[in-house]
Amino acid sequence: MHTVRGGRLAEVNRELWLVLSLFVIAAVLNWFLAGQRMLLELYLLPAVFSAYFYGRRHAVLTAFASVFLVLLLIWYKPEIFGHSPAVPHERWYELTVWGGVLVLVAYAMGTLHERNERHLQDLRETYHGVLMILQQFVAKDKYTQNHSYRVSIYARSIGRQMGLDEERLEDIRAAALLHDIGKLETGRELLYKAARLTADEFKQMQLHVDHGVAMLAPVGGSLRRVLPIILSHHDKFDGTGYHPTQGEQIPLEARILSVADVYDALTSDRPYRQAMSPFEAKEIIQKGAGSDFDPQVVRAFLDAFRQRDLEVPELVV
């Protein structure tokens, strides 16, 4: 709830800055350009920013607001349009042309922005489709598939609690769905061994992280961003994990994924042990803050746990 309110507040703040920019421009013109020709071109800036952030409708409304503000200024201070106290007819004609051009530019730029947004949405949907295909390819059995799905939900919930933006949340989700892809290079007898792994077998299992990164490395675009997350998701906060990196050297997304991965592993049945209860798993993660896990991430995990954001249904039945 706090994150949603924060997002709405940020949206309102951006709109207020756009409106404020109109008055700032007007004040600058009034202060520095009194008795000189009004620089109407400057009023294009709020419409451009509005088109970039909010699209066609908001840009056109901002353009009309700019025209209205200029008319208001001329009504009360006509000399800013020239030396004469009265505005000549040719100036009104110029003003009319300027207003029309401003609205048309705002409409065109807003339309272009919305087309780009639709194009990006199509790319995102394609990306999500490819991601799901890869995730299905990773899933050798029900546990592996459901594990990746649940971890993606847990990690995204923790990331939301930490106030991450949508792009970073999507990177966490993608990394969670693919974090075990390197296990395709690991033999089934090792993956499903009913006893605890020996030291040599554990070293072999550790290689699945590097194998996964090697498999995804040729892929470009958004998936390339998740490689550092996958590579580091078994690194511990105190530096005793798969790699010697520690603390903030580990990407934040990987620190989040680590908590989500361990929580799901603890609350799932495995060949060598039964699942713990969610409360038992929560206690273990809480005790691991500062050693295995980033304390800040653990606090976000506990918030998500209290808000019951970690209750996820099975993907496969």
**Of 201, 309, 195, 211, which is closest to residue 260 (Cα–Cα)?**
309
Output phi, psi for 250, to 5 deg: -80, 130
pLDDT tens-digit series, residues 5-20: 444 445 545 556 655 6
pLDDT at 29 over 70: no
CA dist., res. 91 & res. 82, Å (int): 9
CA distances from 40 to 37, 107, 170, 193, 232 (A): 9, 18, 42, 75, 53
pLDDT tens-digit series, residues 90-148: 667 777 887 888 888 888 888 887 887 776 666 566 556 566 655 555 555 555 557 88
pLDDT tens-digit series, residues 195-248: 666 677 667 676 677 777 777 776 666 677 888 998 898 899 999 988 889 999
Map out the domains of the chain with their CATH numbers: 2-118 (no CATH), 140-306 (1.10.3210.10)
**Of 218, 213, 245, 242, which is closest to residue 229 (Cα–Cα)?**
213
